[in-house]
Structure 1
Amino acid sequence: MRLLPVQVSPVSASIRYFGRWDTTDRSDYVSYWSGAYLKTAFSGRHVKLRLREVADLFVSIDGGPNVPYRQVKGVVNLTPVPLSGGDHSLRVATGSEWTSIHFQGLILDVAARTLTPLVSPDTIEFIGDSITAGYSDSMNGLSSYAWLTAERLGVEHEQIAASGICLSSTAPSCSGMDTQFFKLQTLQYPDSPLWDTRRDIPDTVVINLGTNDYNHGQTAEAFELSYLAFIQNLRQRYPNTPIYVLRTFSGYMELPTRAAVYMLNASGDRNVFYVDTTGWLTPNSSDFNDGIHPSDSGQNKVAFYLSAILQHRHAGEV
């Protein structure tokens, strides 16, 4: 009797998912938003992915570098060079906000098995625009300060971020995160279903919005009101989660951002914090790819400063 490779379904309890995934079809889990990823562990010397649709991926085995797989589909061999015997860890991530992972499972060696992966009990949710999505950076979402900050802290992470998005839906000719955040999918999907925020309550939230509101001509007064309403909506869903509100790295909408946080503090919510990012990045320097988007090195600088703040505030526990 010929033994066959082990087929692992997406529903396996040994696979953990981070970010927003549509799990409606138990044979095809679909990721949305930048930086979504899965983690698992397995025995044996080989592992393959099964993908229903074309995707751009970054794969890390045993904590190694993020290896890019461009425009792959079907059965994707992740171990053309066999691994050493024993147990191994696996992380599969999508860097770009424009691509999804249609994950149909894993293929392992004969008699191999999946194992419970090592994951942090803590998760940071980052909410932002193209800067948080890693637009123009080498690995997109994986080069973003959001991914890098969480990795520095050793915690899991989610990036709910989209290029071109404003905070406020009332900004002229701009879609707002104040509504899109509460949906499963990105702006590419105008009929996106709502996201059940009860599925995944983060331990920390970091928000970086306002650059596009400024560029679209939103008034400071309207922006402040939108920020107040957005954080209040988040608070209804995350009653005990610390929320960190960043000054945009170029200083756009700095005053209304700070005012919104202070107003929330004055009204009794002391678990919202304004983070002054002044001086973190230098304008017209190699910190930026252009006038707005941080370079890889700029993103690393932000991660250095932000991780120190989060670690200090929570005495090492995010």
Structure 2
Amino acid sequence: MKYAVLVGAIVIGAVACSSAENEGGGPSNPAVDGGGGGKGPDGGSAQPDGGDDPGELSDLETVHITGRFDARDPAGIRFSWPGTSVRARFSGTGVTLHLVDTGADQFDVSIDGAPPTLLKTTADQNTYSLASGLADGDHDVVVTKRTEALIGSAQLFEFVSSEGRSLVATRVKLGRRIEIVGDSISCGYGVLGTEPTCAFGADTESEPSAYGNLTAQALGASHTTIAYSGIGMVRDFGGASVDQMPDRYGRALADDPTSVWNGSEEPDAIVVNLGTNDFQATEPGPIFQTTYETFLGTLRTKHPNAVIVATLSPMISDYYPEGGNFRTLARGYIQGAVATRNAQGDAKVSFLEFDLQTGEDGYGCDFHPNVVTHQKMSAKLVSVLKNQLGW
């Protein structure tokens, strides 16, 4: 679905990953394309101009964003959830990004579809050269947030071509959409680590390397990741019960409860991967299942047509802590929540068990899934979504 807000003489197309109203997350700032830069959100997939099979296309925009964002500040959109990506087309031999970060985020930067290079931001810098020395002409740039809100929140001001030319308006294909809802696993926490003893850090976190993005790529879909390390359905890694996923899910910015997300897009599939932190020390009890049931109901209310897949984490085991049988308990609670929804007439909610990660495949930092495990998770999820959606 598409919405547009007319600001002066400029239309902001709020497609796929934006909001129809200005209540935190949604288009209110104009898509400025004057002088050498441009700004203004629009959602869509990674393919500019629709490719060979355009299907439904977005409006012409100078900047497209896939993921949640907050547009209350007219100076530039803010975003914090991992995996959020911004696309623009510039004309010239190079491009500079004007972006302010609250922390030290890391981004993948791809020019004209080439393998990405790494951009590291700091709180005391706001201008970054993304490319130079290119052949003079039109080029596409995609900037994807690798790191999560714990690392930082970014505000995008503009892309500026080396020659000071205006950005080139493009369309993006509006196709298949997947939403990932989870914790550190979905953030790609430690996925680039080579041993379980390495600690959490931006250098080893990469949402683009996690199962959600791998699944979207395999299925030719765009995806949005709503994930935050340490949180759970009922309680977090430290045992706190506030600001868990049911509290954060409605936000445009992960850590700002005033940034209400009003996006009206309809994902084809929603994948929920929560529970690892709920079962970190002791089993949470039946409240885990009842809260899970309520959250599934919330998702259904917001997205009446989506397939919802409730998954069992690859990190929950029956042998740690010893005698805990946490995997068996978690499986039962999640399957119970799914069964309740099914009994209420919701046949598009299902259960998927990700295989328990193994030492043979290796571990990422802090015993999180590594690249091999994420690939296996993706393969299993791809098979399920193909079957349920006919993709």
Matches of 2:39 and 2:252 in 1, distance apart?
A: 22
Counterparts in 2 of 1:25-40, with a 5 A limit?
25-40=73-88
- Structure 2, unaligned runs of 5 or more: 1-33, 43-60, 193-204, 317-326
* Residues 193-241 of structure 1: per-residue CA shift (max 9 Å, x gap): 1523444332211100111111143434111101100010111111111
Partner of 2:152: 99
* Residues 31-81 of structure 1: per-residue CA shift (max 9 Å, x gap): 11111111222333221111133642211111111211112532211113x
Q: What is the aligned counterpart of 2:209 among 136, 143, 146?
A: 143
Q: What is the aligned counterpart of 1:78 among 125, 130, 135?
A: 130
- C-alpha distance 89-118 of structure 1, shift in aligned 2 (>3 A): farther
Answer whether contact 1:286 1:297 (CA < 8 A) is retained: yes
Partner of 1:184: 252
Q: Which AA in structure 1 matches 2:360?
A: S
Answer whether contact 1:169 1:179 (CA < 8 A) is retained: no
* Residues 124-159 of structure 1: per-residue CA shift (max 9 Å, x gap): 110001001111123421211112111222211111
Matches of 1:292 and 1:28 in 2, distance apart?
A: 38
Q: Which AA in structure 2 matches 1:106?
A: F
**SS of equivalent to 2:223:** strand
Equivalences, count: 307
TM-score normalised per structure 2:
0.72
Partner of 1:130: 184
Q: Please report how far the alpha carbon of residue 286 of structure 1 lies from its aligned counterpart in structure 2 after TM superposition.
A: 2.7
Counterparts in 2 of 1:1-318, with a 5 A limit?
6-10=36-40, 13-53=61-101, 55-72=105-122, 73-80=125-132, 82-97=133-148, 98-108=151-161, 109-111=163-165, 113-138=167-192, 139-168=205-234, 172-175=239-242, 176-186=244-254, 189=255, 192-251=257-316, 252=327, 253-278=330-355, 281-289=356-364, 292-316=367-391
Where does structure 1 differ by over 6 angstroms across 4 or more consecutive aligned residues? none
Higher helix share: 1
- C-alpha distance 292-7 of structure 1, shift in aligned 2 (>3 A): same
Answer whether contact 2:62 2:89 (CA < 8 A) is retained: yes
Matches of 2:379 and 2:342 in 1, distance apart?
A: 26
Answer whether contact 1:19 1:32 (CA < 8 A) is retained: no
* Residues 166-194 of structure 1: per-residue CA shift (max 9 Å, x gap): 112599424421111122322xx3x5215
Q: Please report how far the alpha carbon of residue 118 of structure 1 lies from its aligned counterpart in structure 2 after TM superposition.
A: 3.4
* Residues 76-135 of structure 1: per-residue CA shift (max 9 Å, x gap): 11113x223443222111111122221101112344532315344222110001001111
**SS of equivalent to 2:240:** coil
**SS of equivalent to 1:184:** coil
Matches of 2:137 and 2:379 in 1, distance apart?
A: 35
- Structure 1, unaligned runs of 5 or more: none
- C-alpha distance 115-75 of structure 1, shift in aligned 2 (>3 A): same
Q: Which AA in structure 1 matches 2:252?
A: L
Answer whether contact 1:37 1:93 (CA < 8 A) is retained: yes
**SS of equivalent to 1:148:** helix
Matches of 2:36 and 2:236 in 1, distance apart?
A: 52
Q: Which AA in structure 1 matches 2:384?
A: I
Answer whether contact 1:135 1:293 (CA < 8 A) is retained: yes
**SS of equivalent to 2:69:** strand
